[in-house]
Structure 1
C-alpha cells in the first residue's frame, strides 16, 4: 500500500473517531438510564447505519457540488470541516441537563439522526474532495457503532465526566482536518 493511501486511511480513521465522539458523549448519558445490553446492541447498530447513510448522502451531494464549483471545492470542504469542529467544541460548553428519551422506536430514529447530522456535513465536504467512499463509510459506521456501545456501557458504570471532554476532542480533530485541508 503506497504511503499516500495509508495516510488517507489513517486520516479517515481519525475523522471517523471524531464523528463518533458525539454519539459516544450522548450515549454516556443514555447509558446511565436502565437499558439492557440487547437494547444497547440495537442502538449502536442503528447509529452505525445512520453514520453510513448520512455521509453517503453528503458525499453524493458533495460530488454534485464539486462538479459545479470546481476550484472552490477544496476550500469549501476545509471550511466546512473546521466549522463543524468549532461548533462541536462550542456546543460542548452549552450542555443543559435534560431527561433523555428512551431509544425505542421513533425515539431511536430521532436519536440516531441527531447524532449523525454532523456526519452528513462531513460527507458533504468529503464529496467535494477525492475520497475513497466505501472505506470512509465503513469506517464512519463502525467507529460510531463501537463508540456508541462503549459510551452506553461506560455510562452504565460511570457518571457523565467524559461527555464534554469527548466532544471537545472530536471537535478539535475535525478542526485540525479542516485546517489541514485549507493549509496542508
Structure 2
C-alpha cells in the first residue's frame, strides 16, 4: 500500500479520536499541557496498537478467505464509515469545570475510538499488507490530530465536531470502494 493511501486511512481513522478531542477541549475547562498530551498520547497509542492486533488476528485465517478478502475489506470499511457517520449525530454535550478525564474514562474512550483501527488491521492482513509502518503512521496522525483537536475545541467549540466525524466516515467508505474496484473491476488477471 502506498504512503498516500496509508495517510488517508490514518486521517479517516483518526476522526473519531479527533472529534472526542474537540469535545474534550470544549467541555474540560481546566485542562493543561500535561492533560492535553496525555489524552492525545492515549488516543494515538491505542490507534497504533489496534491495527496490529487486527492484523495478527487476520493472519490466522487469511488463507481460508483469500478468494473474497477484498469483499470483506470493503464491507468492513463501509460498515466502519457508516457507523462513524451515524455516530456523528449521536454526540452528547458534557461540561466539567476541572479536568474530568479519569484514567478509566480515557481508557474506555481510547478503546472505543480505536475499534475501527482493529478492523482496518484485519483488512490489511486479508490484503497481505504489512502492518508496522501503517500502524505507526496511524498512531502518529491520531496523536497529532487529537492534540490539535483539543486546542481547536478550546477555540471554536462544537461547530465542526459532527462535520469532522462525517468526513472521516466518507473517507473510509471511499477507500473501501477503491479496494473493491482494484480487486474486481481493475484486477489484473
If the length of structure 1 is used for normalisation, what is the TM-score? 0.90
Residue 179 of structure 2: aligned partner: 181
CA positional deviation for 1:113: 0.9
Residue 10 of structure 2: aligned partner: 16
| Secondary structure in structure 2 of the residue aligned to 1:94 | coil
Does 2:97 align with 1:82?
no
CA positional deviation for 1:98: 4.1
CA positional deviation for 1:81: 0.8
In structure 1, stretches of 5+ residues that fail to align are none
CA positional deviation for 1:99: 5.2
Measured in 2, the distance between the counterparts of 1:65 and 1:152 equals 39
1:30-109 pair list within 5 angstroms: 30-32=24-26, 33-34=28-29, 35-98=31-94, 102-109=100-107
Measured in 2, the distance between the counterparts of 1:99 and 1:129 equals 43
Residue 163 of structure 1: aligned partner: 161
Alignment match of 1:111 (pick from 109, 117, 122): 109
Q: Deviations over 1:114-172 (max 9, x none)?
A: 11111111111111112231110011100111111011111112211111011111001
Q: Which moved more, 1:96-105 or 1:45-54?
A: 96-105
Residue 27 of structure 1: aligned partner: 21
Tell me if structure 2 keeps the 8 A contact 1:50–1:116.
yes
Tell me if structure 2 keeps the 8 A contact 1:92–1:168.
yes
In structure 2, stretches of 5+ residues that fail to align are 183-189
Q: Count how many residue pairs are aligned between Structure 1 and Structure 2.
A: 178
Tell me if structure 1 keeps the 8 A contact 2:18–2:142.
yes
